[in-house]
Every structure is written in structure tokens, then in C-alpha cells.
Amino acid sequence: LGSEIFKKYFVLLDTFRQRHRVRSAILPPGPALPAAVQLLLWLYRPGPFFDRCLARYGEMFTMRLPGHAPRIMLARQEAIRAV
């Protein structure tokens, strides 16, 4: 029984990793900082944080916040209206 649970755990873990890789490949690039650090920068220094992201990743980038799905950030009003 223990080995069956062990096998199921690793199958689920592998499935999660594969799905996560696929989803990550679809998202635009974004900061590699931990989600908690991105949250703090967004809360306390939003202007410099966004300016740095725009300069490095372009007009569309992915931001990660703790406990939330990745957020796609858009810089141009035209792109925002299109969504």
C-alpha cells in the first residue's frame, strides 16, 4: 500500500511539473524575483518596478504574486482595450 501511494504521488508531481512548464512557456517573460519580493516592490515602489520591467521585458510581462495566478501586465492602452 505504501509503495502505491508513493508511485501515485510521483505521477501527480510529474503531471503537475509538465503542466506548469507548458503554462509557463505560454506566458510572456517577467521578473525571476520571488513572488513575495515582486509584491513588495509593487506595493512600495510601483513606478520604478514597472519602469524596470518595461525596459527589460517590453510592453507585456508576467508578474507573480503570492497566492495568485500569474498576472499579465500590459503597458499600452491599446493593448488593454483589446483585451
23-56 pLDDT, tens digit each: 556 899 999 999 999 999 999 999 999 999 999 9
pTM exceeds 0.75, yes or no = no
pLDDT score of 17: 53
Banded pLDDT at 2 (limits 50, 70, 90): very low
Q: What pLDDT does 5 receive?
A: 47
Helix, strand, or coil (residue 60)? strand
Burial 11-26 (b: 16+ CB within 10 A, else e): eeeeeeeeeeeeeeee
